[in-house]
Structure 1
Amino acid sequence: MSEKVGVRRIAHALGLTERRVNQLVTEGVLTAEGKPAKYDFDETIQAYIAFAVENAKGRGAGDAEAEKKKLQADADYKRAKADQEALKLAELEGRMHSAEDVESAVTALVYSVRSMLLAVPGRVAVDAARCKTAQEISALLQAEMSQVLDSLSEYEYDPEVYAQMVRERKGWIAANDEDEESSDT
């Protein structure tokens, strides 16, 4: 039978505070008898060593799991970065357009259609005043609208327009540099 000792001696032997020793008793790791608490020295040391070994095993498994999660997160990050670079390359090659550029091009097209339609009354006003019947005015308006629609039907996608938008948005060239280039040609 080993010696019965107080909390202060156990704490000193284990390199713990007295408070931590009391917590270990509360957690059921160590056992004490009586008031004031007395500990079987050999049994308490062995119980603490067993507890520390179990904790170390659990931490080792936790470390492996944490490392696995870290590697997975790193792989996910690298995959997302590669996907992002692939999207940038597709944009630069003209195989994909940003929503911002598409919105800008569609807005320009809508304003073009708007200006063509708003110009119709001014172009037909004089001719409409010379018409004698509603049928003549209708035919005149129909011909003018057909001309506007024919003009719109000739619209074609121009990849260079989108490439120019990308260069301007990325800051590779300023918008006024392009104006100077087009005035030189």
Structure 2
Amino acid sequence: MINDVVLGNSISVNIDNRTFLEKEIQEVNNGSQVLQKIEYRNMHPELFYYYSYNPDQLTYIYKSQDLKYPFYVHKLNPSLNLVNKIHTIFDGKILSKEYRYENGIQNLEGKGFMGFQKTYSSDPYESEIKNGKYINKNPAKGLFWKIETRDPLMDNSTVKSTYGGINKFFTEDTTINKNLIRGIINTLS
């Protein structure tokens, strides 16, 4: 987004580089009978929704945060592609695993891009190819997710880990982290 502070206008420029795959690993073949193929989607939720009409399969999700400077939360970054699925092909079978991301966090005081506030990774499931696309072979079978939540105020350390559905969990583990530098300084004074 380009902001003109004098006129008070802003212009959004979207670059669709979904077909520019030069800088991305497309497949991994280590000489065995196992081949891994990688699918990417760019960090632009609206663009993907526009092309697929399926909001349940968004790879990047932005949710408004109350983070102050020096943190910046990316609403979108269409020039950055994220791994969406990894397909492992062996013995005539295909196992797929999906990934999703929420709130890309950047530190503007030198730490740079810190990662994502939440990362979602699915359990592997069996896939098949239809019309040139990998699809879930048994969509009626439940797909479970491991969701890691991180705290940017604690250098993006994991504070919660859940397992189950996207919104309902079987397990939920919370980790309490403390800033050790402050503890050491307080102990020394």
**Pairwise TM-score range, normalised by the shorter structure:** under 0.3
Q: Which has the higher helix share?
A: 1
Q: Which structure has the greater CA radius of gyration?
A: 1
Provide the TM-score with structure 2 as the length reference: 0.21
Q: Which structure features the higher share of strand residues?
A: 2
TM-score normalised according to structure 1 size: 0.21
Relative contact order, CA 8 A, sep 6+: which one is greater? Answer: 1
